[in-house]
Amino acid sequence: MDVFGETRCWMYSIEWQKRGLPHSHKLIWLKEKLHSAQIDDVISADFPNPEADTELSDIVKTSMIHGPCGNFSMNSPCMKDGRCSKKYPRQLIKETQTGDDGYPKYRRRSPEDGGCRAKISFRGKEIEMDNKWVVPYSPLLSKMSHGHINVEYCKSERI
């Protein structure tokens, strides 16, 4: 199944986390590079509309939110010198932009541009999040796994 386009080759490694759970890192080389609009077809960094897809909305709310860190929790493991080492919260933008470094800035729409907000449970409280906190994901793979699968596009040949 070519989820992202026709595959040239792929590789993966499996690592075990401190708690003993395995996870994998996969690299997939595509025959053709994706353009911004094509990236949006297979990778999202937006909350899905819960009325259009309740299942995916629930998966993203429970599995694809970074942290939250920063003002929500300065003691999060990602916080280094008062900043998130994973660069969250991210910038809200209307359309995916491909950068010179090989990594895109994913579309993360503000509510004014059609983006959704979601309420999540954090430390016993319900907080409202916007797309600044969504980890990029493949809607198809997320629905298949019902868990956390961070999907990133890299057009650079330097990894």
The DSSP annotation for 46-99 comes to SPPPTTT-HHHHHHHHHHSB----BTTBTTSTTEETTEETT-PSPPPBSS-EE-
Torsion of CA 87, 138, 109, 52, to 10 degrees: -140
Nearest to 91, CA basis, from 75, 72, 107: 107
Beta bridge partners of 104: 98
Kindly give the confidence (pLDDT) of every residue in the chain, 159 residues in length, as a single tens digit, with 9 standing for 90 and above: 578 989 999 999 999 988 788 889 999 999 998 888 899 999 999 999 999 999 999 999 999 999 999 999 999 999 999 999 999 999 999 999 987 777 899 999 999 999 999 999 998 999 999 999 999 999 999 999 999 999 999 876 655
Beta bridge partners of 105: 97
State the pTM of this model: 0.89
Compute the Cα dihedral for 64, 56, 111, 43 and give only its sign.
positive
